[in-house]
Amino acid sequence: MEWNKTSVKFENGSKIIASSTSATAVRGDSFNYIMLDEFAFVPNNIADEFFASVYPTISSGKTSKIVIVSTPKGMNMYYKIWKDALAGRNPYKAIEVKWWEVPGRDEAWKETTKKALGSERLWLAEYECEFLGSEDTLIRPTKLSSLAYDDPKAATPEGLMIYKEPEKDHIYTITVDTSRAIGLDYHAFIVLDVTKMPYQIVARFRNNTMPVMLLPNMIASVAYRYNEAHLLVEMNDTGQQVSDILHEELEYENLITTTIKGKKGQRATGFGVGRVQYGVKMSNQIKKTGCLVLKEMVEGDKMILTDFDVISELSTFVSEKASYGASEGYNDDLVSCLVLFCWLSTQSYFRDLVNTDIRRKLMEEKIRKMEEDLLPFGFSSSELDSMDQDAIDLGREGKTPKNTYFGEWESGANPNGSW
């Protein structure tokens, strides 16, 4: 038997090694049994590469096994593996051990331990196996733990995931957050179906290596696919370059513009008239508004998040000074897209965009029903003379006569286009 600091080698040729977490932890070797301890605490920004280096070392053996043991820590890669195991979406078997299953632990031990920890959240994570976010996340930890995600219907190697194909007459928006694509922060964009509430993520893109020059083509191809979606680009840093290419070279027409309205700050206008910018520059004011609306939408079930990585980023999107941002070692690029969208949703341009189609459909439906109600009845010429002929003609042409029931609806509709 041979010993050193990181391994033990036996006379029969087998060995046991211990390795630290890295992208090349055990790459190049072959193992029959691997245990990953406290895997939930591997930072998100290296978890994928670490797991990718470990898994191939045991995947070829028929009797090989991998065991992942950890205390929960937020909605990260370990959380996804655990949830997928419970749902039968991966080959792992989920085994949960809670505090009362350990011999010698009783209610008295529980109360003593909870006092020693000094935090209900720590107790729930350490001993109740609860996947909770940090106490200071934008979204309540209890809400985060209840959020469900779907498997994408299609995915590309570049990082595009499709959850729902585009539907005829549906309205879509895309918000874009760019980076420098040097392996750290991600290019990201989210496609939302905004035809009606709850709004739903139908596709998303995230990539931290794609050159900036190629990103506009990716965005435009997805935008055209989703009914020429209305597109808002954050112009900070490389976003200006992306916006310019979309506008000047690709000539994408549904690029949302903004203008500065004095103390009111930036306002979405949706079309290029006057002194406008093709996109929006993220500011403290926009981020504050976007975060408040995002919290309201998610906790009020007004938005279906769908994507695991979005939920994971929200679990580490925490309070920092007077704002919110990703915890150290984590990313918030997809959340930034949602923050941008939520700010956009407060703009009168967006309300007009969403409501116009709904108002038109409701008007057509009301007129159709009115005509159906009238058709079964016969009218004599004298009866017709006593009616407002102009109002009848306008109704048949799909127009709204003044001082009628429809006119009252048109002026009194609420921002959601409902009664």
Q: How far apart are CA 78 and CA 221, in angstroms?
A: 33
- Do the beta carbons of residue 32 and residue 63 sit within 8 Å? yes
At 119, give phi and psi (nearest 5°).
-150, 125
CA distances from 366 to 335, 358, 374, 410 (A): 40, 12, 12, 12
Q: List residues bridging with 33 in a β-sheet.
A: 65
Between helix 44-54 and helix 77-86 the angle, nearest 10°, is 60
Output b/e per residue, 318-337; b: 16+ Cβ within 10 A: beeeeebbbbeebbbbbbbb
Nearest to 190 by CA among 166, 211, 168, 160: 160
Torsion angle, alpha carbons of 70, 76, 81, 84, to 10: 130
DSSP SS3 for 7? strand
Residues annotated as catalytic are 38
- Do the beta carbons of residue 226 and residue 203 sit within 8 Å? yes
